[in-house]
Structure 1
Amino acid sequence: MDSGGPHQSTTHLTWANVGLAFSFILLDGFLSTSFGLGVGSSLITAAVRCVVQLSVVALILQKVFETNNPWAVAGMAFLLNLMGTAETVVNKSKKRYDYMVSLAFLWGFGSRSTIPVSIVGIRFAMDVEPFWKPEQYIPVVGMLCGATISGIVVSVSYVLKELYDNRDKVEMFLAFGASRFEACKPIARDALRLALTPNINQMSVIGIIAIPGMMTGAILGGSSVEQAARLQMVIMFMISSCTALSSIVTTILALAVVVDNEHRVRTDRIDTREHAVYRARNWVAGKILEGVKEGAYGLVHGVHRLIGKGQAEQTGEGAGERQRLLG
């Protein structure tokens, strides 16, 4: 793979450049607030998270790149997969099923999706040896994890919503003698269609309507346009295959957990509450707020007592003075 060229990128970006780009988000947030669209806070929160997360990962990746150690690369890949699982289960999924964390990590992100696709794709499709070169492997794994999050969230969320809100449809098929595979097949088909449509649409317009970021980055880095285009093809196929594989596997697992082997829809295995992380956060915040309120109430009550005591002393002194004058 051609990684160099006569024209190297010399652009030096400062925080002023980042701030200028962030102003676009602020403008969108202002417009959303002005028209009451309800997406301004989400945009700004996501942008702030983007700044913080990219700043942190830049510091970490710089150290990993300098060490050029395969164990450091493996640790970074594990961390990316773990964070991807947490983002999927904790932040993105409004409904969850039993064992979702372990199943999503082992089958969606870990040994059955991002890791094998990244290893085979980088070693053979991208022709990089050794495959674990930090500057090659870690960015690809990050892209695969990001795409996999979207696929898993869309497919599993649709499956759980249908089984929870429209369980009577599945139970009707089961009552007429259908197997759980036959009863759940329409749900799985619609879920996978929703999950994979963005990738299919992206592949269909890439190059003609949209010039993707990986190709743009390779060109800016000095690669020839032809090599940049081939690199983008490889990356796009890896992302799409990884998203499809993880979505298919996690959809089947979700259906297998919620519809048991006795052909019963187990909605009791679907958790519609906020994740335990947010419940714990809300509990801690409530306790802190309660403590602050009690402290403020005690302070105000103490001030009132002091003021009342002072007024009583002044009243007593005034009464004594009047008695002396009258005497």
Structure 2
Amino acid sequence: MDSSPTLTWTNVLIGFLFILFDSALSLILGLGIGGSLVVAALRCIFQLTIMGLILDKVFASDNIWAVFGITLLLNLLGAFEATYNKSKRRFTNMFPMILLSMLCGTVPISILGTNFAMSQHPFWQPDQYIPIIGMILGNAISAIGIAMNSVQKEFTENRDKVETYLAMGANRFEACKPIAVESLKMALLPTVNQLSVIGLISIPGMMTGAIVGGKSVEQAARLQMIIMFMISASSALCTLAALFFSLNTIVDTRHRIRPDRIDSRKPAFYRWRDNATSKLWRQIKGLRCWGPGRDKKRPEEERVGLLNGISSP
């Protein structure tokens, strides 16, 4: 019998008070992240609500094509997040290349892991497969974001190192290998750290969920081990494929660095959003200036004349 309490939106509102606490702390200390915290929390509420409605129907359908569709959708959203939100700079055709990298790294590992390591038959059982693919994707997004920022920073700020290798006769893969190796190490470092402390210091969410769901602690621990090993392999494959595509784009087939293929601007839709918000804010300020009870501001010359005792004509 399930003795866990039923959570309502009132409980969510109480939990949201912790975000407000962080925002107040940011305001007091001048961190400048209070607004970002609130926006991120609202996104979290919206996204999880939509996901809950969708997954409820997918779990009930028990259909392999529904699972395939959710997997593709999650990869699309993950590629969007890694390309436009996690990466400070973007290279040409980055979104489709990151999407292909994520599909190559997440789908095979998730299928092999659930089918063989977890002995789940069929492997696509919705209530098992979808949460696992979601956890794998979450870690892959972070790993790819770290690697892409590292690579693009090197080519933007320290391109002379690669040019030296190319000038000495190295091909593009030999010249880019040190950057790729260092970027891959940085991308996998969070996973390595997580593996080091898991179970000893932190109790991960999947293990907690399995225990709450009725599994024994021993079974939940083994399940978490398998999932962590899947996450490490998937993050490595996704990042490796993304590094290959990025380096292959930034250094062309004629062994030339192409800085014109790196874009440091915000994505076009974010620039449009900022422009629209700025225009709307200017219009609101204009309406406030012309509101009742507000005098027009005097010109600077008139204010100076009044201060000097000289009235304006």
TM-score bracket, shorter-length normalisation: 0.7 to 0.9
User: Does the 8 A contact of 1:9 with 1:221 survive in 2?
Assistant: no
Residue 34 of structure 1: aligned partner: 28
Deviations 1:102-144 (A, max 9, x none): 111112x21x111111111111111111111110111111111
Q: Is the 8 A contact 1:8 1:220 kept in 2?
A: no
Partner of 1:56: 50
Is 1:120–2:112 an aligned residue pair? Answer: yes
Q: Corresponding residue for 2:257?
A: 265
Give 1:283 deviation, angstroms: 4.2
Task: Indicate the SS of the match to 1:45.
Answer: helix
Q: TM-score of the superposition, structure 2-length normalised?
A: 0.87
Partner of 1:315: none
Counterparts of 2:246 and 2:78 in 1: how far apart (Å)? 18
Tell me which residue corresponds to 1:199.
191
Work out whether 1:233 is the aligned partner of 2:225: yes
Structure 1 residue 50 displacement after superposition: 0.8
Counterpart CA distance in 1 for 2:161 and 2:35 is 38
**Structure 1 position 53, deviation (Å):** 0.6
Paired position in structure 1 for 2:95: 101
Query: In 1, Cα distance between the equivalents of 2:278 and 2:28?
Result: 31
AA at the equivalent of 1:160: Q
SS in 1 for 2:31: coil
Given candidates 195, 203, 213, the residue that maps to 1:211 is 203
Query: Where does residue 10 of structure 2 map in the other structure?
Result: 16
Among 46, 71, 74, the residue aligned to 2:68: 74
Partner amino acid, structure 1, of 2:204: P
Q: Deviations along 1:18-54, whole A, 9 cap, x unmatched?
A: 2222211211111111011222222222111111111
TM-score (norm: length of structure 1): 0.84
Task: Return the alpha-carbon distance in structure 2 between the equivalents of residues 135 and 183 of structure 1.
Answer: 46
Between the aligned partners of 2:278 and 2:240, the Cα distance in structure 1 is 40
Q: Over alpha carbons, which structure has the higher Rg? A: 1
Please provide the CA RMSD for this pair.
2.2
Q: 1:9 to 1:140 in 2, by over 3 A?
A: farther
Q: Which residue pairs with 1:320 in the alignment?
A: none
User: 1:79 is aligned with what amino acid?
Assistant: L
Tell which deviates more after alignment, 92-101 or 16-25. 16-25
- Residue 255 (structure 1) aligns with: 247
Matches within 5 A, 1:302-321: none
Matched, 1:188 2:184: no
In structure 2, relative to structure 1, the CA distance for the partners of 1:38 and 1:125 (3 Å cut) is same
Q: 1:292–1:225: structure 2 CA closer, same or farther, 3 Å change rule?
A: closer
Per mean C-alpha deviation after superposition, the further-off stretch among 77-86 and 179-188 is 179-188
Q: String of CA shifts for 1:241-290, please: whole Å, max 9, x gaps.
A: 10111111111211111011211110011011111221232344456567
1:138 corresponds, among 99, 113, 130, to 130
Match of 1:275 in 2: 267
Distance in 2 between residues matched to 1:11 and 1:68, nearest whole Å: 27
Aligned residues: 293
Structure 1: gaps (5+ residues): 1-6, 301-327
Amino acid across the alignment from 1:141:
I
The amino acid across from 2:86 in the alignment is: K
Instruction: Indicate how the Cα distance of structure 1 residues 292 and 209 shifts in structure 2: closer, same or farther if over 3 A, else same.
Output: closer
CA distance in 2, matches of 1:89, 1:9: 42
Whether the 8 Å contact between 2:86 and 2:142 is mirrored in structure 1 is no
Q: Name 1:306's counterpart in structure 2.
A: none
Tell me the distance in 1 between the aligned counterparts of 2:5 and 2:279.
49
How far apart, in 2, do the equivalents of 1:125 and 1:11 lie?
33
Residue 170 of structure 2: SS of its match in structure 1? coil
Q: Deviations over 1:171-190 (max 9, x none)?
A: 12211222222221221122
CA contact (8 A) 2:62 2:125 kept: yes
Tell me, what secondary structure is at the counterpart of 1:131? coil
1:242 aligned onto 2:229:
no
- Aligned residues of 2:78 and 2:138 also touching (Cα < 8 A): yes
Residue matched to 1:4? none
Q: Is the 1:9–1:222 contact (alpha carbons within 8 Å) kept by the matching residues of 2?
A: no
